[in-house]
Structure 1
Amino acid sequence: MTDGTDRAAHGIEDIRAAVGRGRAAGRSWAALGARERRTALLRWKRALASRADEFAEVIAAETGKPVHDARSEVLLTLVHLDWAARNASRVLGRRRVRPGLLSVHQRALLAYRPLGVIGVIGPWNYPLYTPMGSIGYALAAGNAVVFKPSELTPGVGVLLARSFGEAVPDHADLLLTVTGPGSTGAALAGADGPAGVDKVAFTGSPGTARKVAAACAATLTPLLAECGGKDAVLVAADADLDAAADAIVWGAMSNAGQTCAGVERVYADASVHEALCARVVSRARALVPGDAYGPLTLPSQLGVVERHVKEALVDGGTAELGGPDGLRSRLPGPVVLSRVPEDSPAMTEETFGPVVVVNPVRDMDEAVERANASAYSLGAAVFTRSKAAGLALAERLHSGAVSVNSVLGFAAIPSLPFGGAGESGYGRIHGEEGLRAFAAPHSVTVRRFAPAVDLMSFATAREKAARAVELGRKLHARF
């Protein structure tokens, strides 16, 4: 069942059993110490690397994406698992912190402890890389994990749990997979009563995230939610248009546009808008669906993509390349739109297909304003030849991550946190924040000597204590 040998629809009792097994395994895992956990996780990483082709084939078979895309996904997974394993001790290990003048007689120590069992609900678009941003970091932080993969990609979750058990057999129950439809994920979050997990990490749509949040709220179970984006690219008048167009097409069309931080909106200075559109169209036209990218994995998504394109045209937008006629199969051709009104669904809702809108703006101030007007706040990109201007624009964007003169540059850097706000969810995976997301701060003080005036003792004369408090007040009033 939960060791990945069965793909049946698992219910609440199956999940509770898996959580119980994980909790028992987690106790011995936490007791190992950081060095031993690092060794075990790096052993698993090497096993995953040696089985990269096997994982890529399963990913490709379940999602439809080309094998070369799936292999890249496996590589990104390895990069993040390696970083989490090697940095957990540094980030989460005990360290001294300054106690301050008032508590100079105390030694202040801070460390992080595992939460226990983490429930991870994964998506189908990147069925290995995305959930491993939670799974790998949670394991490195000393937790056990119960993983519910998308019902569209159960084989990846099954293989992942099996590979862990084979690489780290003494701790096989640390990573257990439960499979099934959305109701299985809801049960893991606690919709059918407490499942016993200590935190849930969810990736999916904002609507589903709200349901998961409601289920978690019943037991005050913390939730980390990554819910997609409507990412914008800003192209300044001085930008390298060839580089920008190349990045835009890849960011918008790779994985058939099924990327939470993929490019969906472009705001180009009006002086270069026409030239940029021509370059984007030229590159997008050269793409061969089925080779450059695979089909839409979720059949119902085709209807969303078609509706966005049709309404964009009805609202006054222009089809620079493609259009509704090219969206009649799950392997749609690339679509490039321009001059689409900002209130059209293609500009306000996540399209999640091979569609990009390139709109002109007066200047970069207007571009920032439009980019920030979205309910989503996940990623963004800026193209300009001026590094100073690029950084200045990046600081003004409300998204959780920004790339300057590239797109999605942050996704391959494991030391950078990833996440957003608003409809993009909350919380962070990856990096130091990603490790701390699956750990609880543990504060310890050790009294080194008796203070001259002990404000935490009834034995201290009130007048003496009052003088000490007044002295402290005056110091803070002055400095």
Structure 2
Amino acid sequence: MSESYETLLQMQKDYFYSGETKDIHFRIKQLKKLKKALKANEKQIGEALRKDLNKSDFEAYLTELGVLYNEISETVKHVKSWAKPRKVKTPMTHVGSGSYIYPEPYGVSLIISPWNYPVNLTIAPLIGAMAAGCCAVIKPSELTPHTSAILTHILQKTFEERYIAVVEGDVETSKALLALKFDHIFFTGSVAVGKVVMEAAAKNLTPITLELGGKSPTIVHKDAKLDVAAKRIVWGKFTNAGQTCVAPDYLLVHRSIKEQFLDKLTQQIKEQFGEDVSRNSDFPMVVNERHFDRLTNYMKDGTIIFGGRSIKERRFIEPTILENVSLDSAVMQEEIFGPILPVFEYETEKEVIEMVRKRPNPLALYLFTENKKTEQHIITHISFGGGCINDVVYHVGSSQLPFGGVGSSGMGAYHGKYSFDAFSHDKGVLHQSTKMDIPFRYHNTKGGLSILRRLIK
């Protein structure tokens, strides 16, 4: 099997070396084909997402397809300017020359995507690869087999294998692909697997983009607009049954408004998902039994103040709020990735900063406050990938913002122009004139040192 992967990789390298994928008109044409193919198969994609994760048509469009359509349109509109060489300033010591940056595609990229947003997080990096002029081998998640199958069908029907290829399989397939010398690797998934990917990439000195996760804190300060905060937190936390890398992972609520806020939070769960969430046929299910068991065990780590019900045969877990949680418990040691929300109280901003800093840098941070000073203090003193003030998750939908982690939550960023950059190398080139020469650069120039001292200080 590994020999066939090597053959595929070489075929894509040969096609990349032909130069066809670098042509800007080719890139735009292929991106338009991708969008057309996704739109033509919307129904089948929706059916697959329903089978794998019980996503409703609304949630599928909001979190999977709609953002991709916007991303492709934005890329088609701007990729020509992104790909142009950029002239930059040249120092006085280089008089007579011009300095330029040439964006250059890495070559053949390996894209390994996760199961939680199996369409979005497969196609979004692919858009960047195509825009940059790369070829790509895609490894979708085996945990969402129906979605993986429809994506494979769409991409195989739309593109030649020498340009865009899909390889389905399990962990062994990923290992076999990672052993090959790709020109770039883009991985979205857990921190644990991210370390494996980085180790494999290091053996070949392959540049990588890692989109990982972590425990994203959500801070509700005493001056926050509680109705708005509750509504938005419930939406962001329980969309996709909490299986979102940037979902609020735990709440830090100011002591003075905690009880009031928890009442609003539970009321919002009922308003958005129904008095009995188990009767809501559109509430997403946990991806598999292993994750279901992991999540139900987390509910033992605190006092359940809302929710707590589960139905194993449906892989259903009710939105659940926990109190009296120990910071050393399992639910606070790992990213939850499910519809469980631990709540803590705090008195001072210093307590918040110290608590968050004790954990690895989160992928996202959310703060609800009407105080600009508090806002700036938190942003300045806590390192995190990205986030929102007075909202949650919504920053991910903006193609103008870089999306990515820092430290253990990832490296590199994408979306919009940042996706193009993720799959490109900036090649710096100096264009030197032959009509003149700078004498003081040469070893035999009299007074060369004194001239250099005047020019370079």
TM-score (norm 2): 0.91
Partner of 2:220: 235
Partner of 1:201: 186
Equivalent of 2:167 in 149, 172, 178: 178
- CA deviation profile, 1:253-273 (whole Å, cap 9, x unmatched): 111111011111111111111
CA distance in 1, matches of 2:174, 2:386: 28
- CA deviation profile, 1:347-406 (whole Å, cap 9, x unmatched): 231111100112111033322332333214201111112356435433433111111111
User: Aligned residue pairs: how many?
Assistant: 449
- Note if contact 1:92-1:436 (Cα within 8 Å) is conserved in structure 2: no
Equivalent of 1:471 in 436, 454, 457: 454
Shift of 1:245: 0.7
Partner of 2:294: 304
Partner of 2:195: 210
- Note if contact 2:255-2:345 (Cα within 8 Å) is conserved in structure 1: yes
Q: Which runs of 5+ in 2 are unaligned?
A: none
Give the secondary structure class of the aligned counterpart of 1:105. coil
Partner of 2:241: 256
Partner of 1:347: 332
Change (3 A) 1:87 1:427: same
CA distance in 2, matches of 1:29, 1:261: 38
Partner of 2:436: 450
Equivalent of 1:77 in 68, 71, 74: 68
- Note if contact 2:22-2:132 (Cα within 8 Å) is conserved in structure 1: no
Change (3 A) 1:284 1:158: same
1:101 aligned onto 2:87: no
Shift of 1:18: 2.2
Out of 200-209 and 372-381, give the one that drifted further: 372-381
Partner of 2:52: 62
Q: Which amino acid aligns with 1:152?
A: L
Equivalent of 1:406 in 391, 395, 401: 391
- CA deviation profile, 1:160-198 (whole Å, cap 9, x unmatched): 35434544x5x55311100110111111111xxxx2311
1:41 aligned onto 2:27: no
Partner of 2:178: 189
1:221 aligned onto 2:183: no
Partner of 1:91: 82
Change (3 A) 1:120 1:279: same
- CA deviation profile, 1:71-117 (whole Å, cap 9, x unmatched): 22111222223323333332332010101122122110111111111
Change (3 A) 1:292 1:104: farther
Shift of 1:21: 2.8
Change (3 A) 1:214 1:263: same
CA distance in 1, matches of 2:206, 2:9: 14
Give the secondary structure class of the aligned counterpart of 2:187. strand
Shift of 1:285: 4.1
Shift of 1:154: 4.1
- Note if contact 1:203-1:225 (Cα within 8 Å) is conserved in structure 2: yes
Change (3 A) 1:119 1:219: same
- Note if contact 1:26-1:144 (Cα within 8 Å) is conserved in structure 2: yes
- Note if contact 1:29-1:37 (Cα within 8 Å) is conserved in structure 2: no
TM-score (norm 1): 0.87
- Note if contact 1:117-1:144 (Cα within 8 Å) is conserved in structure 2: yes
Q: Which amino acid aligns with 1:368?
A: I
Give the secondary structure class of the aligned counterpart of 2:249. strand
1:112 aligned onto 2:95: no
Q: Which amino acid aligns with 1:176?
A: A
Identity %: 26
Shift of 1:28: 4.5
Change (3 A) 1:81 1:406: same
Equivalent of 2:41 in 43, 47, 51: 51
CA distance in 2, matches of 1:301, 1:252: 17
Give the secondary structure class of the aligned counterpart of 1:176. strand
Q: Which runs of 5+ in 1 are unaligned?
A: 1-10
Give the RMSD, CA atoms, in angstroms: 2.2
Change (3 A) 1:49 1:389: farther
Out of 343-352 and 85-94, give the one that drifted further: 85-94
Change (3 A) 1:427 1:373: same
- Note if contact 1:302-1:327 (Cα within 8 Å) is conserved in structure 2: no
Q: Which amino acid aligns with 2:51?
A: A
Give the secondary structure class of the aligned counterpart of 2:98. strand
Partner of 2:363: 378
1:143 aligned onto 2:134: yes
1:247 aligned onto 2:238: no
Change (3 A) 1:387 1:33: farther
Change (3 A) 1:296 1:373: same
